[in-house]
Amino acid sequence: MTFLYHADAERGMEWAALFAQRAPDIAFSFRPHETHPADVRYLGVWHPPADIVTTYPNLQVLFSLGAGVDQIDLAALPSDLPVVRMIEPGICDGMAEYATLGVLALHRHLLSYVSQQRHGDWRGIRFGPAAELRVGIMGLGVLARAVINRLRPFGYVLSGWSRSAHQIEGVHCHSGESGLPAFLAHCNIVICLLPLTGETAGILNSTLFNMLPKGSALINCGRGEHLVQADLLVALETGQLSGAVLDVTDPEPLAANHPFWSHEKILLTPHIASMTQPDTAVDAVIANIRRHRSGTAMVGLVDRTRSY
Residue 248 CA to residue 71 CA, distance in Å, equals 14
- Mean pLDDT, residues 128-137 taken together: 98
CATH architecture of 2-88+276-294: 3-Layer(aba) Sandwich (3.40)
pTM of the complete model: 0.94
Residue 73 CA to residue 227 CA, distance in Å, equals 21
- Mean pLDDT, residues 298-306 taken together: 94
pLDDT tens track for 27-74: 999 999 999 999 999 999 998 888 898 999 999 999 999 999 999 999
Q: Which of 41, 163, 174, 223 is catalytic?
A: 223
- Give yes or no: 108 in active site: no
Rounded percentage of the chain residues whose pLDDT exceeds 70: 100
Alpha helices, DSSP H, located in the chain: 9-22, 52-55, 89-107, 110-118, 142-151, 176-184, 206-211, 229-238, 278-294
- Mean pLDDT, residues 101-126 taken together: 98
Report pLDDT for 72: 93
pLDDT at 155 over 90: yes
Domain limits, the chain:
2-88+276-294, 90-268
Q: Which helix (H) or strand (E) holds 279?
A: helix 278-294
- Give yes or no: 223 in active site: yes
Report pLDDT for 297: 97
One fold for 2-88+276-294 and 90-268: yes
- Mean pLDDT, residues 210-235 taken together: 98
CATH topology of domain 90-268: Rossmann fold (3.40.50)
pLDDT at 116 over 90: yes
Q: Which of 109, 186, 271, 304 is catalytic?
A: 271
